[in-house]
A and B are shown apart, each in its own frame.
Chain A
């Protein structure tokens, strides 16, 4: 039996990237904007999503894809807003991938949707590695996590189109320096937009809403 050398030079995550591209093409076909929301556990992704649904209700038809290792707690919370929600349980996997999103999209009536919000699994590392087909990546970092995170998790910050600093209502109790944080983020990613917000009190959410509104408009105007 002879030994042969095969030259491959193929990306290991190439199959995922391909599927992500197909997801995005599907979204484009239906003129839907899809957004991938990432953060550590407990940073406030679900609260942000609920605030966003409340603000856009009646104007924009939203669907949510919830990614969690287990449980339907987040999906239950979001579905109280009377919008379509699909829960993905990754059964241990620390991130969503393009295939899971494809299956979730199969469960949504795409012709009745303008905006898909994906709540990724709470994780600042792995989620950045797997493309889903979203048009925009939004990252949340909450004040109690500390302003040094751009130094500790640089990759995530280089990927984000928007960084929301959440829980600014508790700023007085933490040593979180927003301008130092913004400097660090802009250093890694000069084009990213940074919005300090409180998803709980609603403070600072308007700039996020108008960013999102513009992004939706851009998507539907390409229709």
Chain B
């Protein structure tokens, strides 16, 4: 459900940058979305559809670049990408991990 606020922020950021570049239309937005960011593509597209109406981003398509979660086991130092958010270390089976990456959520670039 928090995709609504995320799309509001995403749109504001896109419009701000388009404005700075004096663009008349936003064509494509490339997003980097970490696996652990909890952001669902379908929900983002859905909210973007109606939130972008009446803006220069109305026709824009969103492209998602997903970055996998990477965790480091505090017990045996193994770095691994969890499958289906199972945080257990594949090596020692413990769940003592720190998140190395996967929480990214940013606009990489735009075509205007």
Residues on A lying within 8 angstroms of B by beta carbon are 1, 3-16, 92-95, 97, 125-126, 129-130, 150-151, 154-155, 158, 184, 186-188, 190
Contacts and interface: CB of A to CB of B under 8 A. Distances in A.
Given A10-B107, A12-B105, A95-B2, 19 more contacts: A3-B112, A5-B111, A6-B21, A8-B107, A9-B108, A10-B13, A13-B9, A13-B105, A16-B9, A93-B5, A95-B5, A126-B1, A126-B2, A151-B87, A154-B87, A158-B98, A186-B96, A187-B94, A187-B96
B65 interface: no
B99 A8 contact: no
Interface string B16-27: 011001011101
Q: Is the interface of A mostly helix, strand, loop or mixed?
A: mixed
Interface in B14-58: 14, 17-18, 21, 23-25, 27, 31, 36-38
Nearest to A16: B9
Contact of A14 (B13, B85, B94, B96): B13
B79 interface: no
B24 A1 contact: yes
Contacts, number: 101
A129 B38 contact: yes
B30 to A, nearest CB: 8
Contact of B107 (A12, A125, A129, A130): A12
24 contacts: A1-B24, A3-B111, A5-B109, A5-B111, A6-B17, A6-B109, A6-B111, A8-B106, A8-B107, A8-B108, A9-B106, A10-B107, A12-B9, A12-B13, A13-B105, A14-B9, A93-B1, A93-B2, A129-B38, A130-B5, A151-B87, A151-B95, A155-B36, A188-B87
Nearest to A2: B112
Nearest to B109: A7
B85 A154 contact: yes
A187 B74 contact: yes
Contacts of A125: 2, 38
Nearest to A150: B95
Interface residues of B, number: 38
A15 B107 CA distance: 13
A104 B12 CA distance: 23
A97 B97 CA distance: 28
A77 to B, nearest CB: 25
Given A5-B110, A6-B110, A8-B13, A184 B2 contact: no
Contacts of A5: 109-112
Interface string B70-82: 0000100000000
